[in-house]
Structure 1
C-alpha cells in the first residue's frame, strides 16, 4: 500500500488508486495517518468525524472502520487495541514519512550539490497543501507541522545550492519563493546572497529594502539581526558565507554532587529511551514533596545528555511552589529564543509557538526537562513531535493524562530505601556514620527515609559534632512525631517554625479551615467534604479558603479541584486542631464528615446498582453526579478515604464501619478491590455481630462471600453466602444473596442449583420493582444456557437484557450483556459479530471502571481473534490480559490468559510454546482453585502429546481433564469422553 497526504489524501494498492467513498472515510483515514502506527482513542475519532460525541458513535465508527479495512490490502493493518484504533504503515508507504527521511538524508550529506538534489526530490513529492480537503482540528496540527517542514526544506535547498556555487541558477527560483512566502526572512536573505554572488549588488540591496517594506507593512517589524547583518556586509562589499548553523542550547542546571542511590529509578529512566523505537520517549518522575524528584531528574539528564547532541532544554514549570505555575506559551517563547529564533519572530499565539518548536526540533536529538509540572495540560503543549527527542517531567501529581493519553512511562519515586538512606547519610556525615551505625539507622527511621528530612537532620548533626548521632536522636525524640524530630529551635532548620510563620498570617476563617484539614482522614480533600467537616454549607466559601491556603503554601493544589497536605503539614494541622478545638467540636466535625461520605456514596452507588440502597436524607451538599461515569469516578477516587474511616472508627462511631461496608459493596466489587472488600466486610461483620445488627451482618457476610469468590475460594465463598441468605430480610437482600450464591454454584458444577438460585433472584428483583438489578441474574442465566448449548434460550435472555440496559442507559449491564453476547456469537461461529460485541463491552467496562469485567473481556477478545485467524492480534489480547491479571492479582484470570495463549500458539503450529504456556497455566491454576482452567490446560496438553505421537501421555492428560470437567458438571466432559472412547483427536478450541 501507499498513502499520500502531501496534497489531497490518497491511497494506492500497488499502482492502483483506491477510491475513498465519502468525506467521512477520507477523514477517518486522515486522522489515522496523522498518527500512523499509534493508537487513536475512539473518542478522538468520533469527535473528529462528527464534531462531538454522538449517540451510538462507537457503533457508527465501527461501520466505517470495517469498510476502510475492506479497502486495505491487509485488513489486519487497521487494528483495535485498548488505547484505540491504530493503522499500521510500513516504512516507505507514507509520503510524509518518506519526505522526512529525505530531509534527514540531505542533512547528513556533506556534498551540497548532492544535498540539493535530495531536497529537490523531496519537494517534488508535494502535490498541494498537506491533508488538502481535510478540515479537522486533529489533523490541522500535523498539516501545519508538515507545511513548516516544507518551508524549511525550501530554505535548506537554496542554501545548499548557494554552497554549491549555483547562485545564478537559483536567482529566479528564489524570487518566486519570496513572492509566495514574503514573511520568511531567511528566503529574503538567500535571494540577497544569490544576487550579490551573481554580481548584482544593487539588486541585492534593493531586495533588502523590499523585504523591509513587506515586514513593516505586514507585521509592523523591522528585519531581524541576521538579515540586517547580511545587508551591512553586502553594502560593505564583504564576502558572505552561507550559514546553516543553529544554536545548541545547554540549559541543564547544576546537579548535586552528593546524589546517591536511586539506581532502580535511573534504570527505569534508561529503559524509557529504548523502549519503543519510533515513539517519543516521555518519562514522568512522580512522588511527594521532598522525595528528591528534581535531583533524580538532573542526575539522569546529565548522565544521558551526550545522547542528545542537538541540545538540552530545561524549564521550571513552578507547578508546586511560591509562584504561579508557568504558562506553556511562556516556556515555548523562551525555548524558541534559545533555539535561535529572534524575539521579534516568536509567534504570539501559543499554538503557533508549539508548531514552530516542533518544526525546529524535527529530526533533532534534544532532551526536554520539565520540572515541577502541575498537570498534564501544562505539559502537552511543550511536547515535541520528533521521536528522536525525549521528555522528562517531574511532578507531585501522577500526571495520569500523560501516561494514558501520550504513552508516558511513570517512574514512581518513593522514600529512600534503608541502604540508599545510609549512603546519603554517609555522604553527608562522613566519619560520623562509622562511629555508631545503629544510631544512624535510628536517625534514618526518625526521618522516615525522606531525603529532605535526612538532609535537615544531617545538618543538625554536623552542626553539633561533639554530641554524636545518638545524643542528637535523643534530643529530637525519636518516639515522637516527625515535627518534633525536625523542630531544632533553629528557624532555618525547623519545619514547625516555618509552618507557624505562614499559619500566623492567615485570616481567622482560613486558619480554622487549615486546622480542620488535620482531622480529614483522606490523602486528598475536596471542597465538598471540607464543607461538611466545617459545617458551613457554603462550598464557595470553602473554595476561597482553600485558595488562600494554597497561596500561603499550606496546601498543594492537585487536579480535580482537590488539595492535599504532605505528611509534615498534615501532622502540623492535626497538632493545631488538638490544641485549639475541644473534643466535642472535633467529634461533631467528624460525624458531619462521615455522614457526608455516606450520603455521597449512596448517590454514586445509585448509578452502579440502581435501587440497591435506600435513599438518604440530603443533609449535606455533595458533588454533582450526572451519570454513571461521574459516579464511578467519584467512588474510585474516594473509596480509599472511606476505607480509612471504616477501619479507624470505634466506640460510639463503630456503626459507621457497617454503614460504609454496605455503601461500598458494589463499588469495591466492580473495581476489583478484593483486598479492601475483605478488610472492610470482615470488620463490619465483627461489629454488626457484636451489636446484634443481623441485617448489617448479612450484608457483610455476602460481601465476604463475593470477595472469596473473586479469589476462587469457592468453599469459603459458599459458606459465607449461605449464611448471608439465612440473614437476608426483604426481597432485595434475598435476591442479591441468591445471585452471588448462584454464580458460585455455576463455577462449582452445581448447575441445577445455580439455575434455581438465579431464576429466583431475577423473580425477586422484579417483584421488588428493581428491574435493572434483575438484569444481572438474567445475564448469568444467559451465560449458563450458552455453556450448555441452549443457544436460542441464551440469545433471547441476553438480547432482552441488552435491550433493557440500553433503554435505561445502564452501562454496567450493557457491558456485561455485550461480553456474554460476544461469547455466544463466538460459539455460534459468528466471529465478526462476536468481535464487535467484545470491543463494545471493553469500551463500556473501561468507561464505567468495571475492572472485574474488563479483564474478562480482554480474555474473550483474544479467543475471538484466534477464531478469526488473527493470531498476532489474539496474542496481543492474551498478553494484555496477562498483564491485567497480574496487576489485579487474579490467579484465575492469569491462568485463563496463559491457557488461551497456549491454544493460539497451537493454532499457529508452535507446539513447543503452546506446551510451555499450558504448563505455566497449570502451575498458576494449581496454586488456587481454578479447576476449569486446569481441565482446559490438561485437555490442551493431551492434544499436543497426541499430535507428537505420544498417545499414552495424551490419554493421561485427557482423562485428568474429564475428571475435573465431570466434577464441575461441565458439558466439555461428555464431549471429551466421547472423543476418548472413539479415539478421535480433539481439535484446538476457539
Structure 2
C-alpha cells in the first residue's frame, strides 16, 4: 500500500506541473486507464462510460483511495497484478527521491567559494564553532545552527568561508553554500530559489525538482536526513529566509551570516548567535599590510597603525585601503593615514578650502567604511569614477561586461578594463570569468554618488540601456532555443537562423539564458521600477523558452506578474500593443501550472482570453483556449480538453489572409489536431483518434520549408500510444519506427531516446528481448549525451533486469 500510494502521489503531483516530461505524462495517463478499468470491473471497453471516468486524485484522501483501487485491481488476476506492479515500479523512478549519502554514486557537493589569502585572525570564531560541534549537551535530533551577526563590512562572509574551509573534513557528505542576498527585502532570494539550487547537487535530477516550495522543502529534508553536511547561508535577511533551508540531520552544521539578530532561529531552532566585531589593532595592521603587499617600501608601525585606526578595524575598509596602496604606488602610507584621520579637514565645521561642511558629510566622516570608499573614489580617474557610478544604478546580482558597458555607455573593451581597475582597488569583487559583484555597502556608496552627481534622469537612462541590451540578448537566445513558436515584440524583428545551423546551438542558447537568469530577472524588476513598461513585457516574452524548458517557477511568476501589470499600462500608451496583455496572462498561467497551482492557471487563462478577445487578437485567443485545453488534459478532463482544442481551431479560422497570425495558422492548426487526437485516445475513441492523428501528420508534412519533422515525430509517438492502448503492439511498433526515424532526422536527442524507450516497451509486450535490449542501449546513449540522468538510470535498470 505504501509503495502504491507513493507512486500515485508522485505521478499526480507531476501531472499538472509537467516536471516529469513525457515519461510522467504517460504514467499519468496509464494511471487513468488503470483506475478506469478498476471502476468498470476490469473491462477496458467500458471505460468510456460516464461513471467509469476517474478524476485526478488531488487530495491526500483521494490519492489513498486511488492506491487502494490499484491494489484491488491487482488482486483480480495475474495480468492485472503484473500491470499494476510494472506501473508502480516505473512511477518510482519519477519520484523526486533523496540519494543516500552512502550510495555508490552519491553526490557530495562542494559549493564553498575559495577563502581569501589575506584572511586574518578570527581564531576565536573557529574555536567557538568547534566547541558547539563538540558540545556534549547538544539538542538531540537537530542540526547545529550558528549565526554570525554584525554590520555590513565587518567580515562575516570571509569568517564563515574561512571557518567552513577549516571544518569541511568533519562533513564528508559535502558543503552547500548560498549567498541569500539579504541586504534588503528587495534583493533577498526566495527560499524556493535556493532549494532548487541545492537539490540538484544533492543528486536530484533537474527535471524532478518540484516547482512549489513545500515539496522542495520536503525533498530537501529527505536528501539531507542521513548526511553529515555543512550548510553555509550567507547574508540572510531574516529568519523566514533561513528556516526552510535547515537540513534534517543532527549531524549537520548550519552556519548563517546576517546583519540582523535572529529571533525565531534562536527561540525555535536553538541557534547560537555570535556577534562579530572589528579586528584588533594588531590584526588590522596585519591585514592591511597583507593586502597592500610586500612590493611597497616598509612603513613605520605608527603610520600603519594610524591607517588601521582610520578604518575602525573593519575588514571591508581595510581591504579597500590596502588594495589602493597595492596598485597606486604614488600613494603613500602617510597620505592615506592623513586622509583617514580627518586631519585634512578643519575642526570648526569647514573643509580645507574653508567651505562649510554639511551635517551629512560630518556623519560620513565618522563612518570608517564610507571614509575609505570616499578616499578610494577620489583616486579614480574621472572616466573610471563615472563608470563606478553608472554600474551601481541598480543592485544587479552580478555585473557583467554587457551590463557595465551599456550602463556606462562605453565599448565593451573599455568596460573590461574599467571593471578590472575597480576590482584591483577592491571596489568590486571578481566572482567569475568577466563577472563581478559589489559589496552592498560599496554599491550603496556608488549609488549615492550617482544620485548626487548624475541625477535620476541619467540613472534611469542607464537602466534603460541595460534593459534594452538584455532584451536584445534574451530575444536572440530565445529565438535560437524555440525558433518556430509565435512571439510578440519588436526585439524579434529581423532574427533569422543561419542556413547551416549547428544542431547543438539551441542547447548552447538555453545555457546562455540560464547563466544570465538572475540578472535577467533583475533587469525586469529594474525596468518595472523605472516605468519602462514596453521593455518589461517584452523581456518576459523573451524569457519564455528559459522558463518553459527549465522552470524556476518562483522567478517566472514574479517577473510575469510585473509583465501583466506593465502590459496593462502599456496598452494605454500611444504606441502600446494591446496584444501584450493576453500574452503575459497566458505565459503566467504556465508558471502557475509548473508550481502546481491549477486554479491560478485557469484564472490567468480566463484573463488572457478576455484580453485577447477584447482587442480582436485571434491568434492570442486561440493560444489561451488551447492552453486551457492542455490544462484539462493534465487534469484528466479529456472531453473538456477536446472541446477547448476544437474551439481554438474555430478561433484560428477567423484569421484572414494577411492578418496578424495568418502565417502561423497552418502549424497552429496542426498542433491542435494533434491535441484532439490525444484527447480522443484517452477517451478510448481509437478509430477517431487514429484518423485525427493521421490528419495532423499530413498537416505537419505540408508545412512550408519541407514540413515539420520534429512534430511529425511527436504525432507518430501519439499514434504509437493509441495503438498500444488499443492492444495492437505490432501497429504501435510500426508507428514508433517512424517516430525514431523522424526524431533522428530532427536531431532531437531526448525525444529520440523517448521514442526508443517506447518502442522497447512494444518489443517487451511481444517478447522480443534482443530488440528491446538494443533499443534500450541506444536510448541510454542518447540520455547520457543529453545529461538526462533520470532517463539513463531508468533505462539501465531495465537493461540489468533483461540480462539478469
* Band of TM-score, shorter chain: 0.3 to 0.5
**Normalised by the size of structure 1, how large is the TM-score?**
0.38
Q: Which protein has the larger Cα radius of gyration, Structure 1 or Structure 2?
A: 1
